[in-house]
A and B are shown apart, each in its own frame.
Chain A
Amino acid sequence: KNEVEQSPQNLTAQEGEFITINCSYSVGISALHWLQQHPGGGIVSLFMLSSGKKKHGRLIATINIQEKHSSLHITASHPRDSAVYICAVKAGGGSNYKLTFGKGTLLTVNP
């Protein structure tokens, strides 16, 4: 069973700060998701990656498969980035996979 740990659990930042959220997992995976959950509850997929680095706007996700670790970075953070950020992993091959989720990191960006 894969254990997914995120840190920190809560993060408060000032607008403009650089944010890093970390995710580690215990068992080898084939891909890792970063997801965003807003206060209303809906989940949006930000990235899926299996190696290296991906960038979308102010968001950057990296993964180190050997170290079983991924980071999500937010540059020039903004109050609208305030949300819960969730790491979820996919184990095994194929596409009909289930995801195992971390507990999430609650990010609050103050103006």
Chain B
Amino acid sequence: EPEVTQTPSHQVTQMGQEVILRCVPISNHLYFYWYRQILGQKVEFLVSFYNNEISEKSEIFDDQFSVERPDGSNFTLKIRSTKLEDSAMYFCASLKDSQSNQPQHFGDGTRLSIL
């Protein structure tokens, strides 16, 4: 069964550095998402992306965050100047289309540790 893949599985970065988290959504999916889960807390929506633009973003997704689909397969989340509180598990998800009542498919996540 096709999967959403995320790399790396674990990223350790110094505070203030830029980090890029990578995702390869399922190939025929059109809608893409990033979620975040701080240790011990609930999963939170960050941003949704469709047709090469952001559809919706949460209040967490401030100017330090950006997303991009640089080619036909990758979907990236960039954090420009990381803070300690950015330490979390980041999940990418994708969704096929608007006609079928299908669930979002999640990747295994990237654990981001800011030192």
Interface residues of A (CB under 8 A from B): 31, 33, 35, 40-45, 47-48, 50, 86, 88, 94-104
Contacts and interface: CB of A to CB of B under 8 A. Distances in A.
A45 B107 contact: no
Given A95-B95, A96-B55, A44 B45 contact: no
A40 B9 CA distance: 10
Q: What size tier do the contact residues of chain B reach?
A: 20 to 34
Contacts of B109: 41-43
Contacts of A44: 106
A42 B45 contact: no
Interface of chain B, main secondary structure: strand
B44 interface: yes
B33 A102 contact: no
B84 interface: no
Nearest to B56: A98
B103 A40 contact: no
18 contacts: A31-B101, A35-B106, A42-B109, A43-B43, A43-B91, A45-B104, A45-B105, A48-B101, A86-B42, A86-B43, A88-B43, A95-B31, A95-B99, A96-B56, A98-B33, A98-B56, A99-B43, A99-B45
Contacts, number: 66
Sorted from nearest, which 10 A-B pairs have the closest CB atoms? A42-B108, A95-B98, A48-B103, A43-B106, A45-B103, A98-B45, A101-B43, A103-B42, A101-B42, A41-B109
B48 to A, nearest CB: 6
A2 to B, nearest CB: 11
B103 A100 contact: no
Residue among A40, A42, A104 facing the most chain B CB atoms (10 A cut-off):
A42
Nearest to A33: B103
